[in-house]
Amino acid sequence: MVCFTISQFFVLLLLLFAMTLHKGICGANTKLSCNGKDRSALLLFKHGVKDGSHKLSSWSNGEDCCAWKGVQCDNMTGRVTRLDLNQQYLEGEINLSLLQIEFLTYLDLSLNGFTGLTLPPILNQSLVTPSNNLSNLVYLDLSFNEDLHLDNLQWLSQLSSLKCLNLSEINLENETNWLQTMAMMHPSLLELRLASCHLVDMSPLVKFVNFTSLVTLDLSGNYFDSELPYWLFNISSDISHIDLSFNNLQGQVPKSLLNLRNLKSLRLVNNELIGPIPAWLGEHEHLQTLALSENLFNGSFPSSLGNLSSLIELAVSSNFLSGNVTSTIGQLFNLRALFIGGSLSGVLSVKHFSKLFNLESLVLNSAFSFDIDPQWIPPFQLHEISLRNTNLGPTFPQWIYTQRTLEVLDTSYSGLSSIDADKFWSFVAKIRVINLSFNAIRADLSNVTLNSENVILACNNFTGSLPRISTNVFFLNLANNSLSGPISPFLCHKLSRENTLGYLDVSYNFFTGVIPNCWENWRGLTFLYIDNNKLGGEIPPSIGLLDEIIEMDFHKNNLSGKFSLDLSNLKSLVFINLGENNFSGVVPKKMPESMQVMILRSNKFSGKPG
């Protein structure tokens, strides 16, 4: 203290006062803040948890439990109200004696590795008496504990305050009464998520389920193989989100769906639904999401969908729809994502896009033609565009150059044969993923620098030598083109030292010269295909440095010499093809345990494979 001047002393006093005040307001004072009963309940819960990553190291007896990781208290009463331990690498047992914490309203243990769950005796009773106020829990999220299986959910019906329940990615295959059990839940339930729970039966025969307040129902990713059950269409007048995607649902979409007047989102992707996409869906004026892709719908694209002015996402691709697409979709000014494909055809004009100011994803994977003025300035700035399988060509359209925020560009299989090289390569350099494969584009790549993370230029008519790549390129497929010359300038270029390339396919071209000894630059490679070229010489020793390689293909070149590489160092190698070359000497014997396929045919090897 002697070292303080008076003014410093006052500052210190003020500071201390401020700190006490702060403690008082925030209730961080130990005596006030942590209720003893709550603390012991938390510690008993911790007892069952395997916490290998020491995420709960702050949970020790002496300390204020309101300051423990994930715990929140009411700042007036000091009682624990929330426990949020999602994604903390926790394993072991969930001891739901936690629910004896009287004022706990929010419990999130999702995205962990729990394998068991025990109930306090009061919840573990065969005789269920719903609607006693055993717990104040409003929100329960145990989702994404994939090794957890629950065989009986009856206890849930006693959590009478519950509004949100998420058990997605938990194994419920042996809770065969799940629907009846859920139906006994207090009708205050607003959100129910049971996605990917291994559920099998949607009880098509149940007539009525009393979820009178339900707003969100997510049953995606299960094994339901019935028709859409009757109860679904009388579930709750408030229901606004239904997701039944990735099941095996059959039959047609019944008109009783119109009962659900407040429906905002309907996802039925990847099922076996048949019949037409009903025109009456156009009467669902509140719909924002309509996702019907990957089903067996046939018939025409209903023009009534152009009336759904609230639509944000419309997905009908991968069905058997035929005919034209109405230009009224161009009026859907809220639309952000449009996915259309299958067997639709016809001509798309500027009118089909006229008011799509908010469009971000445009996926039109069907035999459409385009009647679009080259000077057209689209109303949108897209993040993703896929025109795969369309009749886009022969010239890469000018209007795509107006898109400055593109991350994905897929114009594969679209009849392109010419690009404006001066503009094109600098334009695509800013795009993360480009796929131009299966066209007939003829252009010289010698002076091009590629910069996208994923580049697929396979199956075209590209000429010249290998392009340069920036250090961003991770995936490069140039197979099946007319590229020629040596590959060493590409492989031994000094920029290649900090590259991230993991996948390189230059097969089926006309490369000549040798395979250079520069592989120390490419140690991240996992897949390497240089087969079907005219390369000569030996396999250089630095190939042995590719210690992450999984597949290598050298077949059908003019390679020769004794193959002396010690493959046993390539610990991940699964496949190697040396066939149709001129290798001699004894067959390679040392190989890693991972090896599954080694092809040596049509060479001059002697001896027997090891």
Task: Detail the DSSP E strand segments found in 172-288.
Answer: 191-193, 216-218, 241-243, 250-251, 265-267, 272-273
Cα distance between residue 14 and residue 316, in whole Å? 66
Would you count residue 432 as binding ligand NAG (CB under 6 A)? Answer: no
Q: Which of 33, 35, 88, 97 binds ligand NAG (CB under 6 A)?
A: 97
Helix/strand/coil for 337: strand
From 112-120, 310-318, 509-517, 590-598, give the range in contact with ligand NAG by CB under 6 A.
112-120
Q: With contacts defined by CB under 6 A, name the span among 4-12, 187-195, 242-250, 396-404 that binds ligand NAG.
A: 187-195
Q: Token digits for 420?
A: 């404006």
Question: In whole angstroms, how close is the CB of 573 to ligand NAG at the nearest point?
Answer: 33
Measured CA to CA, the distance from residue 370 to residue 56 in angstroms comes to 60
Question: What single DSSP character describes residue 358?
Answer: T
- Phi then psi for 520, rounded to 5 degrees? -60, -20
Query: Judged by CB under 6 A, which stretch of 44-52, 330-338, 360-368, 547-555 contacts ligand NAG?
Result: 44-52
Region near ligand NAG per CB under 6 A, out of 164-172, 333-341, 571-579, 601-609:
164-172
Q: What does the buried/exposed string (b/e) look like for 370-401 if buried means 16 or more CB atoms within 10 Å of the residue's CB? A: bebeeeeebebebbbbbbbbbebbeebeebbe
324 contacts ligand NAG (rule: CB under 6 A): yes
Decide whether 70 or 346 has the Cβ nearer to ligand NAG.
Answer: 346
CA angle 70/75/79 to nearest 5° reads 65
Q: CB 166 → ligand NAG: shortest distance, Å?
A: 3
461 lies in the site for ligand NAG, by CB under 6 A: yes
DSSP helix/strand/coil, 585: strand
Which stretches does DSSP call E strand in 239-324? 241-243, 250-251, 265-267, 272-273, 289-291, 298-299, 313-315, 320-323
Binding window for ligand NAG (CB under 6 A); candidates: 90-98, 262-270, 390-398, 427-435: 90-98
Say whether residue 154 binds ligand NAG (CB under 6 A). no
Smallest separation, CB 95 to ligand NAG (Å): 4
Residue pair 4/12 in contact (Cβ under 8 Å)? The answer is yes
β-bridge partners, 94: 117
Q: Shortest approach of ligand NAG to residue 373 CB, angstroms?
A: 16
Q: Which residues contact 75 (CB under 8 A, 6 or more apart)?
A: 26, 27
Count of residues in contact with ligand NAG, rule CB under 6 A: 48
Q: Which of 287, 339, 290 is nearest to 308 (CA)?
A: 287
**Options 402-410, 431-439, 440-448, 576-584: segment touching ligand NAG (CB under 6 A):** 440-448
Residues 6+ apart with CB under 8 A from 266: 242, 257, 284, 287, 289, 290, 291
User: What is the closest distance, in whole angstroms, from the C-beta atom of residue 468 to ligand NAG in the complex?
Assistant: 11
Residue closer to ligand NAG by CB (options 226, 345) is: 345
The phi, psi pair for 242, rounded to 5°, reads: -125, 125
Angle at 195 between CA 339 and CA 172, to 5 degrees: 155
* Contact with ligand NAG (CB under 6 A) among 38, 64, 141, 505: 141
Q: Which of 29, 58, 75, 226 binds ligand NAG (CB under 6 A)?
A: 75
Phi, psi of 538 (to 5 degrees): -100, 170
In 3D space, the residue among 73, 82, 3, 91 whose CA is nearest the CA of residue 35 turns out to be 73
- Give the integer Cα–Cα distance in Å for 401 and 430: 11
Choice between 150 and 501, CB closer to ligand NAG: 150
Residue of 193, 264, 284, 555 interacting with ligand NAG (CB under 6 A)? 193
Q: Cβ closer to ligand NAG: 479 or 598?
A: 479
Q: Which two tokens stand for residue 81?
A: 């109200």
141/410 with CB nearer ligand NAG: 141
What is the CB neighbour count within 10 angstroms for residue 334? 16
Is position 447 an interface residue for ligand NAG (rule: CB under 6 A)? yes
Tell me: does residue 298 bind ligand NAG (CB under 6 A): yes
Q: How far is the CB of 318 from ligand NAG (least distance, A)?
A: 16
* Among the listed residues 554, 561, 592, the one whose alpha carbon sits nearest the alpha carbon of residue 576: 554
**Binder of ligand NAG out of 14, 19, 26, 128 (CB under 6 A):** 26
Q: Report if residue 118 touches ligand NAG, rule: CB under 6 A.
A: yes
- CB 374, min distance to ligand NAG, A: 19
254: preceding bond cis by omega (within 30 degrees): no
3-class state of residue 281 by DSSP: helix
Q: Between residues 43 and 586, which has the closer beta carbon with respect to ligand NAG?
A: 43
Closer to ligand NAG by Cβ: residue 326 or 403: 326
With CB under 6 A as the contact rule, the residue among 81, 88, 105, 143 that binds ligand NAG is 143
Q: Which of 164, 292, 559, 598 binds ligand NAG (CB under 6 A)?
A: 164
Mark 228-247 with x for binding to ligand NAG (rule: CB under 6 A) and - for no binding: ------x-------------
Helical (H) or strand (E) element with 454: strand 454-456
Contact with ligand NAG (CB under 6 A) among 33, 110, 295, 452: 110
Among 200, 257, 258, 347, binds ligand NAG (CB under 6 A): 347
Binding mask 462-491 for ligand NAG (x = CB under 6 A): --x-----------------x---------
Binding residues (CB under 6 A) for ligand NAG: these are 26, 41, 44, 47-48, 75, 93, 95, 97, 102, 110-111, 117-119, 124, 133, 136, 141, 143-144, 149, 164, 166, 171, 173-174, 187, 191, 193, 210, 212, 216, 234, 298-299, 323-324, 346-347, 440, 442, 444, 446-447, 461, 464, 482
